[in-house]
Homo-oligomer: A and B are copies of this chain.
Amino acid sequence: MITSLNTADFANMDQRYRAAFFNSLGGFKSLTLVGTINSEGNTNLSVVSSVFHIGANPPLIGMIFRPESAERHTLDNIMDAGFYTFNHVKKEFYQQAHQTSARYDKSVSEFDTCGLQPWYSENMKAPYVLESNIRLGIKFAQRIDLTINGTVMVLGEIIETFFPTDCLEIDGFVNLEKAGTITVSGLDSYHTTQLLARLPYAKP
């Protein structure tokens, strides 16, 4: 049986119900721990599902911040420091990753409270997650305020990356499933993946 819902139905939904509903409908999403540091040296870690690819040359990656949310500390830190990190999540620590979504006080580092370890590269002030398999070091590029609903889009340039050597394939593809990266649906549903196939470049 198929359910059909429209704008009038959406308006009648409870706020939390509606958030769960529309966060599901977009499909499976990337799962990323964002590592930041502010000018006082306080670190912050926030799990997000709003990261998306913007372009490869230059390598640009975007994320969306809600108007009022736990991860606004992350936005403050990005605007402050100009650098941040994206860290893929594995099944071995997805519960710790999820815990970073709690509304901790700004003075609290989620690295300490959630049981994940910071790691620093030579060229990046912002902290990476040691437990993470694939890590991206990002330089802030542009902030775009989406007036349509008050969300904020942040675009950044990937300036360095760390990943398991045996996951890089000959054509540049990085095998996320082999690396253990997981995916998320809705606000709180975590999933591993199972390869169907890689398909060749499609021609008419």
Q: Which residues of A contact B (CB under 8 A)?
A: 1-7, 10, 13-32, 49-61, 64, 66, 88, 91, 94-95, 98-105, 108, 113, 121, 123, 134, 136, 141-142, 144, 146, 148-149, 151, 155, 158-166, 168, 171-177, 181-183, 185-204
Known: A101-B202, A102-B204. Is A192-B190 also a contact (CB below 8 A)?
no
* Distance in angstroms between the alpha carbons of A144 and B15 in the assembled complex: 27
**B residues less than 8 Å from A4 (CB atoms):** 121, 160-162
* Distance in angstroms between the alpha carbons of A187 and B187 in the assembled complex: 25
Contact sample, A vs B, 23 pairs, CB 8 Å cutoff: A2-B164, A3-B168, A5-B160, A10-B59, A13-B172, A20-B171, A25-B59, A25-B61, A25-B163, A29-B52, A54-B151, A55-B151, A57-B149, A99-B202, A104-B204, A144-B146, A173-B189, A175-B189, A186-B198, A188-B199, A190-B197, A192-B193, A192-B196
**B residues less than 8 Å from A61 (CB atoms):** 22, 25-26
**B residues less than 8 Å from A136 (CB atoms):** 25
Cβ-defined contact, B26 with A27, below 8 A: no
Q: Which of A29, A57, A189 has the most CB of B within 10 A?
A: A189
Report the minimum CB–CB distance from A97 to chain B (whole Å).
10
